[in-house]
A and B are shown apart, each in its own frame.
Chain A
């Protein structure tokens, strides 16, 4: 079982609120990823990091920001939540030369 954790699992929040989705892994992986998954299943890469203090935007334009101050922690922040941000957010990590990515259980976000 993968040691990568996302909190909260479910979140309902009002429009305009600032939120941070947490992702932590205990495997010492250097690379971490955030995906947004729409109801039609498609996963969109929104941010990734290949090490501490390195972050990049993914294919999908996102109003979220990320930080990577510690190897094990990769939080995603929405400064002002909107209904269009309602989605499932998945965090993943992989280490070194390994190609296998390990996923957290996801955060299902609903913005009302």
Chain B
């Protein structure tokens, strides 16, 4: 079963607006990551937040983590058409924490 669940499944916004995507997970984690996937291609790592962190910034990205609610959010500020992609949260689980499992993803469309 998937460790992470994102919402919304799809999001359409105008260029310049902010985009917020949410992720919930099921088991205890040491860290949570966000990845981006351009249409039909491989995923690219965006940012990692550790379980003892509540918020982290990287450029126009802001990630929050609430371990009590087992949830995380990814905020993209001042969105651009080039931000159009699918975004996934990911966590490690299983024996040895080798298994990297992904949420269902949010498909973001930024309209110029």
Contact = CB atoms under 8 A, between A and B. Distances in A.
B40 A88 contact: yes
Nearest to B5: A42
- Chain B interface size, under 10 / 10 to 19 / 20 to 34 / 35 or more: 20 to 34
Chain A at the B interface: SS class: strand
B93 to A, nearest CB: 9
Contact-residue bracket for chain A: 20 to 34
B40 A41 contact: no
Contact of B100 (A4, A42, A45, A88): A45
Interface of A: 2, 4, 31, 33, 35, 40-43, 45, 48, 50, 56, 58-59, 88, 90, 92, 94, 99-106, 108
Across the A-B interface, the 5 shortest Cβ-Cβ residue pairs:
A103-B42, A43-B102, A41-B105, A100-B45, A103-B43
